[in-house]
Amino acid sequence: MPGYSPQEIEKKWQAHWKEHNTFKADNASEKPKYYVLDMFPYPSGAGLHVGHPLGYIASDIVSRYKRLQGFNVLHPMGFDSFGLPAEQYAIQTGQHPAITTEQNIDTYIRQLNSLGFSYDWSREVRTSDPNYYKWTQWIFLKLFNSWYNLDTDRAEPLKTLLDKFAENGSQGIRAAGDDEERHDFTAGQWQMWSEKQKLQAVHPYRLAYQSDTYVNWCAGLGTVLSNDEVKDGVSERGGFPVERRLMPQWNLRITAYADRLLQGLDTIDWPEAVKEMQRNWIGKSIGAEVTFAVQGHEQAQIKVYTTRVDTIYGATFLVLAPEHELVKTLTTPEQQEAVQAYIDATKRRSERDRMADTKTVSGAFTGAYALNPFNNEPIQIWIADYVLAGYGTGAVMAVPSGDQRDYVFAKHFNLPIVQVVDQQQIEEQADPTKEGSYLHGLITGLGYKEATQILIQQLEERGIGKGKVNFRIRDAIFGRQRYWGEPIPIYYKDGVAYGVAEADLPLVLPEIDEYKPTETGEPPLARAKDWKYKGQYDYELSTMPGWAGSSWYFLRYMDPENQERFVGQEPEQYWQNVDLYLGGAEHATGHLLYSRFWHLFLKDLGLVTAHEPFQKLINQGMILGRSNLIYRIQGTNTFVSAGKKDEYKTTELHVDVNIVDNDILNLEAFKKWRAEYSTAEFILEDDGTYVCGTLVEKMSKSLYNVVNPDTLIEKFGADALRLYEMFLGPLEQFKPWNTNGMSGVAGFLKKLWRLYHPQDGDFAVTDEAPKPAELKALHKAIKKVEEDIEKFSFNTTVSALMITVNELTTLNTHNRAILEPLVVLISPYAPHLAEELWQKLGHEAGSISSVAYPEFKEEYLVEDTVNYPVAINGKVREQLQFPATATAAEIEAAVRATDILARFAEGKEAKKVIVVPGRMVNVVV
């Protein structure tokens, strides 16, 4: 019989699992539930490389292990299938994005299945499927038709707000959002208004609303981009210029949930770094809002938010965001040219770049002056790009003595720096100290706490400000001027936005002739012919952002076929939330924060039961590429091997790692790799090989260090790849890839196979009784594997299994009592081989997933005998073995009865014998 053949075995069991729906989860069970989720992938054309499956392998191990532990496990997979890459490809080729996306998904499914993942494929979702995005649109409409009641601290249907308007007008309404966007009216006025007037009054209260918002506009792509999609002032995809532009945009009022999102972080088991990123993004601060009058502009007022109102006497200038609505009004004719030039330059920088750049000092004086409300001193009004229009009020009270950025700005532009507290040291830098006594005005001689209280009291009494809790987080922009996304279910009648009737969902993407903006700059959907609601009303032309569908997909997995509800009540109440979520840390403030927001909103409406969507989160580390380098002699097409490169002046180049084996370059494959290398010549090592250099860096196609899992599965098998990725190191850490290490793991699986097939012969498992040493090896492994998987320490589990197989090989173990539970232990890691051996052991095909995890028995780890090192005056001279039950007196008597003293102590008498139970014996002579 041939030896272990993973390729044959793996295809057999993958087909079996598919045919028998082995991993199909039930929505009701007497078993405890366990929901394991991967952050679902965007299906790119490149498919998977070996870095991608790391988290998927870990989640699959946990899923398989939890089934062995008696859990009803939900482990689904789907695809985040709307997005800009498919749209850009469509623009270039004219091919509909759905075709590209379908092809890419087929590749991903094939690759995922080739790795033996235990997904319940009957629950697959795709965000671009109208049957799915119908419910994304439905949730948007719920947001559109809800408001946030600060009195009840939750979202409510708009009907409760309309009832209040009908009874008392706007009086007494406490709603999340900007009060300045709303207007006061009486119940009588409300009753007299037209439908249009009522809708216009309601709009600023909605949780999904439209307003003029500063966005990252990319003319080259014809769309708005998120901050993540902009780098150094250009689009990450395509490198097109990006500018800040004020545009009407749909927004979601995530700010209403800021405090609850903050509090919820204390209830979930997430990496502290991720929670801290969310805390910083939400950015809660306690301070005051202050109104500054402007000289010569009686109607103009500048509101600033500050957490240090105690320093207001040190405010020597104001800084406005270049986009601030008052800049145009306040700028004097003399400063107009400089201010406009600065605004134009700022448009070319993303918010992220502006926030990150702490070294550049730039700004422009408007020529206008504000008045400090507490001493009436005139202070200059500047614009600078470190102030952002969307953060706070878009204006900063600059106190150079207490803030380093203000200090540097003041020094650079020769502006006043005023000491605020008597203990401040401001000769060389700002000093934010709160210690000491204040030096000015109403708070002279007071300390920080008293000064703050008095100033806030004065602000409120004078009507020029108030104490205020502020958040850094801003409402989420919810529109993209793209084609390949969910249509926003809004239509316009008489210039007012209406929600599409729920019965008319899904609003399906229309067919269009081109996938780029129109010649007049409208979004691609403007190209749709006769696309109107009820045949007469214009639809919204923007589509939803990429994160829309991924903000709730974990709920749809619970009940993906439900046509009446986004998730059925009973499945949702059974599964509730995700027990374990694996994915990259890069989603900390985007996907994860928005998902928590949507979930809290659905909770407010009574549509879900859990408070948080993801109870435990693990961020897997990145697998780094191991690049191979070749060395070309400058000015030639000759390449010199690494061992001899120092003899020549060379240029270092990357080479495709797939034509390198153990750092030895395949010369013929290299010549065929690229046309310019077909005539290459080589200076080789003395043994006739070309040895490449190596470098560990990010895995990337441009560095030619991407390793395709298909190639490795074909050569070593999927089980070997699964084991190797876990063996590389702790799950959360970054790890370098080295294909050379695959052979060692493949060798381990062959050794395991031979426990059941001696000398790669016939299956030969016996029913003989196990030896104590075999039971000890097995039960050490049972305990270790269980402990490590519960701690998500997968690399140490693989090491432990290797040690166990080595021990059993040395013991020549072939008996069922040991090898049967061993198969179960290894099945989460190497499921194909485990299924094959399980069937050979006489069990029903494909049944290993439903058996019980082996029971650990402490008794098999109890030693019968103990080896005692025997020392004379502290120096070990001998090893003696005693029964584990021997007492100290018995051990001492036995040692005295030996000839150890005669041999090593020149016959001297023992003054004292010290026995450390279970450890050692020391004889003092």
Task: Return binding residues for ATP.
Answer: 701
Side-chain-facing half-sphere of 380: CA atoms under 13 Å: 16
- Rounded (10°) angle between helices 718-727 and 709-716: 110
* Secondary-structure breakdown of the chain: helix, strand, coil percentages, each rounded to the nearest 5: 40, 20, 40
272 burial level (CB within 10 Å; 0-12, 13-18, 19+):
exposed
SS3 505: coil
Quick one: DSSP state of residue 79?
Answer: B
At 79, give phi and psi (nearest 5°): -140, 135
Shortest CA distance to 598 belongs to which of 78, 143, 77? 143
Residue with tokens 């408007």: 366
At 219, give phi and psi (nearest 5°): -65, -35
Angle at 435 between CA 431 and CA 439, to 5 degrees: 80
How far, in Å, CA of 832 to CA of 15, rounded? Answer: 11
Instruction: Please check whether residue 319 is in contact with residue 405, taking contact to mean a CB–CB distance below 8 angstroms.
Output: no
How far, in Å, CA of 618 to CA of 79, rounded? Answer: 20
Shortest CA distance to 798 belongs to which of 723, 721, 744? 723
Number of Cβ within a 10 Å radius of residue 197:
14
At 109, give phi and psi (nearest 5°): -65, -45
Q: What distance, in Å, lies between the first and last C-alpha atoms of the chain?
A: 64
Alpha-carbon 550 to chain mean position: 12
Task: State the amino acid at position 534 in one-letter form.
Answer: K
Instruction: Please check whether residue 614 is in contact with residue 38, taking contact to mean a CB–CB distance below 8 angstroms.
Output: no
SS3 880: strand
b/e string for 406-426 if b means 16 or more Cβ within 10 A?
bbbbbeebebebbbbbeebeb
How far, in Å, CA of 755 to CA of 808, rounded? Answer: 8
Measured CA to CA in angstroms, residue 692 lies from 49, 509, 664, 701, 911 at distances of 22, 51, 6, 18, 66
Residue 617 bridge partners (DSSP): 581
At 139, give phi and psi (nearest 5°): -65, -40
64: CB partners within 8 A, 6+ apart: 118, 827, 828, 831, 849
Binding residue positions: 701
Q: Give the H or E element holding residue 924.
A: strand 920-924
How far, in Å, CA of 746 to CA of 740, rounded? Answer: 11
Query: Torsion over CA of 309, 311, 313 and 318, rounded to 10 degrees?
Result: -80
510: CB partners within 8 A, 6+ apart: 525, 528, 529, 531
How far, in Å, CA of 634 to CA of 718, rounded? Answer: 42
Instruction: Please check whether residue 704 is in contact with residue 655, taking contact to mean a CB–CB distance below 8 angstroms.
Output: yes
Render 614-628 in DSSP notation, one character per residue: BSBEEEPPPEEEEEE
How far, in Å, CA of 684 to CA of 686, rounded? Answer: 6
How far, in Å, CA of 350 to CA of 225, rounded? Answer: 10
**For residue 44, what are its two tokens?**
């790119």
SS3 827: coil
Pairing, β 230-231 against β 395-398: unpaired
